[in-house]
Structures are given as C-alpha cells and as structure tokens.
Amino acid sequence: MIRFAAAALALVITSPALTTPVQAQEGETIEGIVAIVNDQPISYSDVRERASLLLLTLGAQRPTPEQQQQIASQALDELIDEKLQLQEAAEYEIEVSEEDINGAITDMARQSGLNREGLIGVLRQSGVDPQSLEAQMRAEIAWRRIMGGLYGSRIRISANQIDERLKRLQAASQETQYRLGEIFLYTANEEEKQQALQGAGTIIEQLKAGAPFEVAAQRFSSAPTSAAGGDMGLVALDDIDPAIAEVVRGMSEPGLSEPIEVENGVYIIDYRGRRDPSESVPVVNMVRLAVGNGSEDDLLAATAAAEDCEGAIEIAENDPNLNASNLDDVKLDDLGPEGRSMIETIDVGQHTDVMAMGDSLGVMYLCSRDESGSTLPSRDDIENQLYTRQLGMISQRELRDLRREATIIQRGS
C-alpha cells in the first residue's frame, strides 16, 4: 500500500540530474541518489524502473517519460516502504525463499494472462530490471509474515461485533444502496496531496484504457479494502465520507469519478450501480476459472476434475496455469443478455461453456443464486471481513510508525 512521499519529484524522470553521476567514496561512479532510508540509498534509476513497473501493472504497454513522471511520487514512496519493510524483516530474521518469490511472480503473471517467463520478457522490453519486481515481492511477503506473526493471532472478532455489523447492514438494506469500489491515496500534508492528485489522474487514465480496477486497488490503495480489490460492497451514502457521498449522488451511470479530495488523501471511486430498497434483483455468487496458456484442452481437463466452486478454487491453487477468482453478489442484469442466459441455464455447482476471457479462455461456476436480491453476507463472511480490515489497519499504522522513526533523507527535502 502506497503513501505519497513529500519530496518534490516533478523532474525525477526528465531532470538532467538523472544522468549526472555521483562519485562514491571508493572512487567508483554511481547514478544520482534521490533518497536515503536508514543509510540505504534509492537511486533515480530505481525510481524510473519502479514507475515503469507500476504503469505496466496498470496495463500501460510502453510507459512514456510523461507517465513515469506523473507516477514518480508513488514509485519513490513504494521504494521507501520496501526498504523499511525489508529492514524490519532483517530485525525479525524473516527469510523469504526464491521459491516464495517465484510463486508470487507466477501469480502476478497469471493475473495478466501470462506465464512467468512472459512477464519477465515484458519487463525487460520495457526497460525494467526483473530484480525490481523480485524486491517488491520479497518485501510484500516478508511484511505480511511479520504482521501475521505479530498480530494475526491477537485479533479476536467477537459475536457482538458480528451482530452489530449485521444490524447496520440490515438497516442499510432499507435505504438506497450503492455498489462502489475505492482507491484511496493517503497523504500527510498539502504538498503530498497535490502529488496524489497528479498520480490519481494517471491511474484513472489507465483504468479508462482497460486496466483492472481490482489490480489498481491492490497496488495503490491505502484503504482496508485494498486486499479485496477495493470492493466496498453495497453501502448507504450516510455511511461514507460526505465528500464521496456528494460525488456518488451526482453519478447516474456506472463509471469512474474524478479524484476526490478529503482531509487526509485522495479517493478514486468506481460507481457500479445502485439498489433501491424495494428492488428485488436476482444475485449470484460465482467463481471464474481461467487457463493461463489459452489451451482449451487444459481448461476442459480442469473442469472435469473440479466438480464445483470449491473444487475450482482448490485445483487452481495447485496449478500455476489456472487462475480462480470469486465474484460475489453479482446482479444477473449486470452480466448482459448473453452472460445472464448462460448462468440461468445451469444449476448451482455447475459451470458454463468455455468462453473468451481477455486473451485467454475460462468458465464461470455458479456457487449460489438468490432470487430475492438480498445481499447480506453470512456471519463467517462478516468475521473474515472484520479480521482482514483490522489486520490491514494495523499494518498501515505500523508502516507509518516506521516512517516516523526512520531517518529518511530525500533530495530537495
């Protein structure tokens, strides 16, 4: 999760300083340094490569210098966080194996419809050293283990908390509700907010060009929903920030908002529709199973082995060529005539015929169908949501504390 750096980086990508060498103590020449985090340097080259990596994550085919410049603050901020995370991992003697890193990269490649080698090739073609991605994966895995080890077993979700959440959801179901996704860019001051606005513009540009909102939320958002791809579910306007509510109230069709300024950051909202209390719309829960190499034979073999939704998820976990993802509380009307027809003709536990999914092939498994339109989650789902939210908030707090305690020297600061 990214927090915006305070350094003025408007010229990071295009400044002549990028190519001005600096003499090291031993006499060797190294590229200019943009920041030092507890005596560990971050170079302009590091920032350029990470900016390109972030843009590639959003689907940019060939990141331009202008795009790199617009997203340079996020790139530097992520690199600073990684330094702190890896330093903390060293303190706790957390080891991340090459197998762990390769597995994470393979998962990322699969989400993009590629295999690991294909992703590495795309990185190199775009001038990104694959080691930049490996460092990112190492830091993410290590930090996740630290947070899980320190706090995972301490978080207790009580029955009262679940009851209270259910009551609020039931009350909200009697109001007009909006299905929203969010990307939140946290900022600590006005200077950072201006950089966040610039970065939000670039993110929106890539989203409009077809970048998956879920991926962008996972990579950029500081909100607790980032782990769920930014999905806020169905919410009443009284339960969200007034500035966001005002924007959503003025949106009549699904789409992206412009950047929304709030006190401590900037939001991007994905408006996905609304539900009136009197409305009864069939909703379904599904699992999407896709094959990474585009082979229909491989996909058919997988569907023969997976008898239902749980089976599809399990088989995908054990096969790097397969990707399974949950699609919960989907309105049948949102699937379009063809998609709705395919789902309506199968029973719970069955899958659709093979269909094109981007550059690959896949099927949809029907997990459950609710004709009443009710979308209240189960108690188990609520418990998992509350647990994930609490752990996410703790993780953000710990990382911000590390920043405050660290010695971070930035160019221009």
User: What's the pLDDT tens digit per position in 395-409?
Assistant: 989 998 999 999 999
- Beta strands at 355-357 and 260-262: parallel, antiparallel or unpaired: unpaired
Q: pLDDT-derived band of residue 281, with 50, 70 and 90 as boundaries?
A: low
Give tens-digit pLDDT for 160-192: 999 999 888 888 778 888 999 999 998 888 988
Tell me the angle at which helices 44-57 and 213-220 cross, rounded to the nearest 10 degrees: 150
To 10 degrees, the CA torsion angle through 232, 237, 243, 244?
Answer: 30
State which of 211-215, 370-374, 376-380 shows the largest mean pLDDT: 211-215
Question: What single letter denotes the amino acid at residue 335?
Answer: L
Average pLDDT estimate for 378-391? 90
What are 193-205's pLDDT values in tens digits? Answer: 998 999 999 999 9
pLDDT at position 358: 66
Which of 378, 389, 383, 380 shows the shortest CA–CA distance to 158? 383
The fold for domain 16-153+398-410 equals: Triger factor/SurA peptide-binding fold (1.10.4030)
Q: What is the pLDDT of residue 333?
A: 75
Q: What percent of the chain has pLDDT over 70?
A: 88
Domain 16-153+398-410 identical in fold to domain 283-370:
no
Q: Looking at domain 174-279, does it have CATH number 3.90.10.10?
A: no
Residue 413 CB partners (closer than 8 Å, separation 6+): 6, 7
Q: Which helix (H) or strand (E) element contains residue 163?
A: helix 159-172
Please tell me the predicted confidence (pLDDT) of residue 412. Answer: 57
pLDDT at 10: 29
Verdict on whether the full-model pTM lies above 0.75: no
> Domain spanning 283-370 has what CATH number?
3.10.50
Give residue-wise pLDDT tens across range 306-346. Answer: 989 999 999 998 888 898 888 887 878 778 788 888 998 99
- Cα separations in angstroms, 271 against 69, 114, 274: 28, 29, 8
Q: Is the pLDDT of residue 16 over 70?
A: no
Q: With bands split at pLDDT 50, 70 and 90, how would you rate the model's confidence at 142?
A: very high
**222: pLDDT strictly greater than 50:** yes
Give the separation between CA 309 and CA 318, rounded to whole angstroms: 15
Share the mean pLDDT of the chain.
84
Question: Residue 27: what pLDDT?
Answer: 36
**Helix (H), strand (E), coil (C) string for 71-119:** CHHHHHHHHHHHHHHHHHHHHCCCCCCHHHHHHHHHHHHHHCCCCHHHH
Question: Where do the structural domains in the chain lie, given as residue ranges?
Answer: 16-153+398-410, 174-279, 283-370
- So what's the pLDDT on residue 4? 34
* In the predicted structure, residue 1 carries a pLDDT above the cut 70: no
pLDDT value, residue 175 = 84
Report which of residues 76 and 292 the model is more confident about.
76
